[in-house]
Amino acid sequence: IFPLTIWIRDKDPLNIIFVVKQFAAVTLVVFDIGLHRLIFKDANPILLNTALNFNLVTYTAVLIVFHYFFLKDYFLKKWVKILFLVGLIFYPLEAFEILGGSFGYSLILKSYVLTFIAIAFFFVPFFGLEWKKISNPMFSKKSMILIHHSIAITILVTTLTNLGYIKGNSFSMIPGLLNGCITGIVFLFVLQYRNRMFREQGVREIAQANAMTNFERSKRQEKERFISMLTHELKTPLSVLRLAYESGDVVKNDKHVEGALKDINDVIDRCALEDKLENQGFNLLVERHSLKRIVYQKISEYDFADRFKFTADGDLWIDSDLNLLRIILGNLLDNAIKYGDVNHPILINGKTENQFIKFTVSNTVGEVGIPDEEKIFTKYYRSEKAYKNTGSGLGLYLVSNLAKLLRGEAKYFLSSDQKLITFELTLPEKM
């Protein structure tokens, strides 16, 4: 009954086969000890004898099916599958002999089938299972040897006695009767453990499926944010270009056109960098460079270079990738220019400390206000007030992740009076 309740709950075929097997085993015990004559007093003896023989051959067939399903999780080798199939082929022959009244012949055939199955059980745990393919077996090899050797011995004692190879006595029937009881108790615990493992595996699979669903959802949302950002950020510079073209005075508006083209180019470049970063497409070229010189070169590219106040302790020599250094520093300076207070200078400082270079960029809080500390280095993040300026929302994300590629890190600080924003870049002098 207990395995039946488990099957109703879990719908594992092995459980219902086990129920049928144990029912056949109990029926067999009832017939062997003569209880059927007390239960069915008025039944025809020939009918009862026929039922007994049918039960015997059916029990053998169900036993074979049960062990096939039980061992299936252990990747049965081909010869074991063939053995089980051959054993089942004899079942209709045995049933046909019983219907024809040849009880003795059917029982001999059944005994030979069981004998060969029992002998095979000695070898199955060693040579019949693909142990190398099983990553986390429910039962160890030693446990499988113990289980199947015990079953084989109890079966052989009974079948070899029936076939006359072993001299029988009044106790010869006991192993056969005990086989169903012992294997029933053993496999009851086995099935309970097996079902618990399956339930735990099911929980893990559900958790993995949920995690995958959440991941796919986050990727979809990320893609939606990217498309939204791209359409919004390209709209403004394209409008500038259209107005300049429609006005007919391109020379007068060339500064605006140049700025709009730069904005479009920056958005596209950062999107390309993000894609390259996502697909691990960077091949680092580590060479010796002066970080001080790189900073001065970047500052000279701005029309309002006088806004930058740069101080450094020496040349700040570093063994790193020049291209990534220029991208990181450029993004930090662009961020300060766009979102800092235009009436206050941008403070840049570089120093060497314990074989690391600490580089800071500080600006006074501008019109866009204070960014969200938890989101500032995340992809596509832009504060609500920042949307009047063209941007990709990828600048600081690239700073943080490219710094990690260079074995460094980027941090964000806000002064106690909430007026000064500082980004600190820490990089090793030698990678």
User: CA 78 to CA 69: how far, in whole Å?
Assistant: 14
- 69 pLDDT exceeds 80? yes
Identify the pLDDT of residue 294: 93
Measured N-to-C along each axis, helices 13-32 and 2-10 cross at an angle, to the nearest 10 degrees, of: 160
pLDDT of 115 strictly over 60: yes
24, 56 contact by CB (below 8 A):
no
Which comes out higher in pLDDT, residue 370 or 258? Answer: 370
Composition of the chain by helix, strand, coil, percent to 5: 65, 10, 20
> What is residue 347's predicted lDDT score, i.e. its pLDDT?
96
32/53 Cα distance (integer angstroms): 11
Q: What is the pLDDT of residue 74?
A: 86
The pLDDT, as a whole number, for residue 35 is 65
Number of neighbouring beta carbons within 10 Å of residue 291 = 23
CB environment 18-57: b (16+ within 10 A), e (fewer): bbbbbebbebbebbeeeebeeeeeeeeeeeeeebbbbbbb
Identify the pLDDT of residue 387: 54
Least confident of 93-107, 201-215, 265-279, 391-405: 265-279
Q: What is the pLDDT of residue 123?
A: 94
- Higher-pLDDT residue of 295 and 239 is 295
Exposure letters 86-104 (e unless 16+ CB within 10 A, then b): ebeebbeebbebbeeeebe
Here the tokens at position 292 are 């001080």
- Whether the pLDDT of residue 171 is over 60: the answer is no
pLDDT at res. 24:
72
At 143 the pLDDT is 85
Residue linked to tokens 């600080």: 413
pLDDT at 318 over 60: yes
Token pair, residue 302, equals 């701005």
Measured from the Cβ of residue 220, the count of other Cβ atoms closer than 10 Å reads 10
Residues 152-168 have pLDDT tens digits of 888 888 888 878 887 76
Which residue has better confidence, 86 or 217?
86
Rounded CA-CA distance 277/279 in Å is: 5
User: Average pLDDT for residues 188-194, to the nearest whole number?
Assistant: 68
Average pLDDT, the chain: 79
Nearest to 411 by CA among 397, 425, 421: 425
pLDDT per position as a tens digit, 75-112: 899 999 999 999 889 888 888 888 777 777 888 888 88
Most confident of 46-50, 165-169, 272-276: 46-50
Rounded distance between C-alpha atoms, residue 299 and residue 280, angstroms: 29
Q: What is the CA radius of gyration of the chain?
A: 40
Q: Which pLDDT score, from 0 to 100, does residue 359 have?
A: 95
Which CATH class, in words, describes the domain spanning 285-428?
A: alpha beta
Written as six digits, the tokens of 297 are 């070169």
pLDDT at residue 172 above 90? no
Q: In this predicted structure, which of 99-108, 160-169, 320-329, 380-389 has the lowest mean pLDDT?
A: 380-389
Per-residue pLDDT tens over the stretch 49-65 = 777 778 778 888 888 88
pLDDT above 90 for 194 = no
Looking only at the bridges linking them, the beta strands covering 286-290 and 317-321 are antiparallel
| C-beta neighbour count of 293 within 10 angstroms | 13
| Residue 6 scores a pLDDT above 60 | no
Q: How far apart are CA 168 and CA 111, in angstroms?
A: 15
Q: Give per-residue pLDDT as tens, 227-254.
A: 566 656 666 666 666 666 566 655 545 6
| 8 A C-beta contact, residue 156 and residue 119 | yes
Helix (H, G, I), strand (E, B) or coil at 422: strand
Residue 28, both tokens: 């067999």
Asked if residues 80 and 71 have their Cβ atoms less than 8 Å apart, the reply is yes
Q: What is the pLDDT of residue 350?
A: 95
Confidence at residue 297, expressed as pLDDT on a 0 to 100 scale: 92
At 124-146, the pLDDT tens digits run 999 999 888 877 777 788 888 98
Give dist(CA 317, CA 128) in Å, integer: 66
The more confidently predicted of residues 121 and 14 is 121
Residue 7: pLDDT band (50, 70, 90) is low
Of residues 96 and 310, more confidently modeled: 310
Strand runs labelled E in 281-418 = 286-290, 308-312, 317-321, 346-353, 356-364, 409-414
Are the C-beta atoms of residues 297 and 325 closer than 8 Å to each other?
Answer: no
CA-CA distance, 16 to 18, in Å (whole number)? 5
